Structure 1
Amino acid sequence: MHKVLTVCLGNYCRSPFAALALAKRGAGELEVRSAGLIGKWEGEPANDSMIVAARRLGLDLTGHRAQQLTREMLGWADSVLAMDASVLEVLREISDDDVQPKLGLYLGDRDVPDPIGKDQETFNSCAILIEAATTLHVGQPQQ
């Protein structure tokens, strides 16, 4: 089974939703976890607006609790998917040579915009974008 780690800044909205959407789409193919670069929301539930956006797409994000990225998580993963280029840059800086080949952007060539501080429609659009992009990662050959 291919192990995927999704990473954003705080593990508060984008990466937990991406992990949930990937787990649903890749059931039986993927084992998915998520983490954030910072521990600001450590142990906290996902952002309320992202929970609402997830629910609109038939996904339940209420069980999520934020966690900060660890070296063990990076070692566990076969693929590490950053939600945006700034997260990817930090991942590249902190990763050793074994992890470097695992790193990439969730959308392949562009950022998933951070909806924090924006309205519910922005969260809904972000969730739709993330969910649609699950097809980029499910059914792909393992590295």
Structure 2
Amino acid sequence: MKILMVCLGNICRSPLAEGIMKAKLPQNFFVDSAGTISMHEGKHPDTRAVKTASGHGINISEQKSRPITKGDFDTFDKIYCMDRAVHKEVISKAKNDEQRQKVLLFLEAAGNHENAEVPDPYWGDMKDFEEVFQLLDKGCDAIKNQILS
């Protein structure tokens, strides 16, 4: 199975989600991340995201930001979006219903329907990155359990 995590710039939330999910799933799964904008293309994740992940034994420092492509809809089985705006943007890039059905709101897919958006910690501090990590960690556990059951 191939999983894509998507946020806006692919430097905070989706790199964390990619790293967490990779750490939880068997190696025969492929997990990647992308953004809906190309502003940070080729850049490593935000240093605060790298530090937060590292504090939990996960190395995301070698990841590089990239924008989502039309080819990703053919490559990936599931595309998880971090918030509603990202979800709407990704859905708009899908060419048919089959591709649209692959696109899910991350927290809704993980069973959290009350506040289905992962907040963007970019304008925050380390506390915000840690809170996002914890939210993603719980979500990745739930999604992993769905996938492996």
TM bin, normalised by shorter chain, reads: over 0.9
| Pair 1:131 & 2:119 matched | no
Distance 2:30 2:144 in 1: 11
Q: In the TM superposition, what is the alpha-carbon distance from 1:38 to its structure 2 partner?
A: 0.5
Matched position secondary structure for 1:114: coil
TM-score (norm 1): 0.93
The corresponding residue for 2:104 is 104
The corresponding residue for 1:3 is 2
Q: Which stretches of structure 1, 4 residues or longer, exceed 6 Å deviation after superposition?
A: none
- Summarize the alignment of residues 1-143 of structure 1 with structure 2, pairs less than 5 Å apart: 2-28=1-27, 30-97=29-96, 98-108=98-108, 109=113, 110-141=116-147
**Contact 1:88/1:103 (CA < 8 Å) preserved in 2?**
yes
Superposed CA deviations along residues 105-132 of structure 1, whole A, max 9, x for unmatched, are 1111301100011011111111111112
The runs of 5 or more residues in structure 2 that have no matched partner are none
Q: Which moved more, 1:130-139 or 1:7-16?
A: 130-139
Q: In the TM superposition, what is the alpha-carbon distance from 1:102 to its structure 2 partner?
A: 0.5
Aligned length: 141
**Contact 1:42/1:65 (CA < 8 Å) preserved in 2?**
yes
- Amino acid of the structure 1 residue aligned with 2:31: V
The runs of 5 or more residues in structure 1 that have no matched partner are none
Distance 1:60 1:102 in 2: 27
- Amino acid of the structure 2 residue aligned with 1:96: K
**Contact 1:46/1:66 (CA < 8 Å) preserved in 2?**
yes
Superposed CA deviations along residues 35-88 of structure 1, whole A, max 9, x for unmatched, are 001111000010011111101111111111101111111210100000011100
**Contact 1:19/1:32 (CA < 8 Å) preserved in 2?**
yes
- Amino acid of the structure 2 residue aligned with 1:102: K
Q: 1:127 to 1:59 in 2, by over 3 A?
A: same
TM-score (norm 2): 0.89
Distance 1:54 1:63 in 2: 12
Superposed CA deviations along residues 9-45 of structure 1, whole A, max 9, x for unmatched, are 0111100110111111012352111000111100001
Distance 1:106 1:30 in 2: 17
- Aligned-pair identity in percent equals 26
- Amino acid of the structure 2 residue aligned with 1:134: C
